Amino acid sequence: MYFKQFLHDEFGCSSYFIASRFSRDAAVIDPQWEVQPYLDLAAERGYTIRAVIDTHLHADHISGNRRLAAATGATLYLHEAAEVHFPFQPLRDGEVVRVGQIELHVVHTPGHRPEAISLLVVNPLRSPEPSMVLSGDTLFVGDVGRPDFGGPEGARQQYASIQRLLGLADWVEVFPAHFEGSCGKGMCGRPSSTIGFERRYNPILQLSREQFEQAASEPPARPLNMTAILAMNQGVADYRWVATTPLVEAVPEITVEAAPAWLQEHHPFILDVREPAEYRAGHLPGAVLLPQADLAVRLAEVPRERKVLVVCAAGARSRRAAGFLLGCGFPQVTSLAGGTNGWRAAGLPLATGTLAEG
């Protein structure tokens, strides 16, 4: 068996290339939009990509599944519950996808998403038992996946799905679809682990069922451009430009201390990219709510002719959102370092309650 993990730092994602050294057949799991590295690897080593599998509909980056399948003639697989507007081969719990002698056993692990799956990797020439699990966004290193829009039911499903994975042997290696990013709250940063280590030392897995469900039902903020990305991955809209728009890293910032005078001088458009509940609890006076998840689909609401001050809770989301706006060609974008939390700590006035939207 040949196995390669690709680490994609921009979104903290992992994708996987698995191949049979005997049949020269290969599968790519959770491919990124830029598919050339998979094509180059296959050509370099003499493999033919026969299967393309997404463990779920990604909400933080645009998948390359259809592009890779079209480029190679491979079969595109998703779980049967995936709601998409393009053809695919449906997978069911317990089904096996064969790549030469290698077996990819499908485990339906809903919670993060209804169609989420994990894949148990079995190489019968070595062992009849799985040696690895590609856990998608169900089980991370030091964390678990957030249940997108699932609420309490999603949290209950997530708990049950993780218990299924924890029934695997201690030695089974865990390879998730993320090693950092917005799909969890406290990922370790390591790209892999084992079931035994996570069972013992993953802090989320030490919680009782009730504690787990409570923690999982309070997910972090939705990822940047999630609305557009999910629509693209479902095949209901074409937002491929989001995948090719660079996130500018050199984002101008202004401190909380300097911001009041700067605001008075420039009268910028204040863009609050937090979630609605955060906004209602306190926002800069005059700030307009446009959650980062919706930024790409509501880009026309951000004025290009004015200076734009992007604000979040502490400054991390606003930097990424500002970087996206700069990548889209907005000429005058600044991020508030320290965010609303720093503004509040400085004793500066906040507005509450009313939802102003662009």
Residues belonging to the active site: 312
Q: Calculate Rg over the CA atoms of the chain.
A: 22
Strand (E) or helix (H) holding 28: strand 25-29
Between CA 96 and CA 94 the distance in angstroms is 7
Alpha helices in the chain (DSSP H): 36-45, 65-72, 151-166, 195-201, 209-216, 226-234, 240-244, 259-266, 276-281, 316-327, 339-345
Closest by Cα among 261, 244, 239 to 309: 261
Strands of 72-172, DSSP E: 75-79, 89-91, 96-99, 102-108, 117-122, 132-136, 139-140, 143-144
CB 183 within 8 A of CB 216: no
Residue 96 has, within 13 A of its CA and on its CB side, a CA count of 11
Pairing of strands 102-108, 117-122: antiparallel
CB 40 within 8 A of CB 68: no
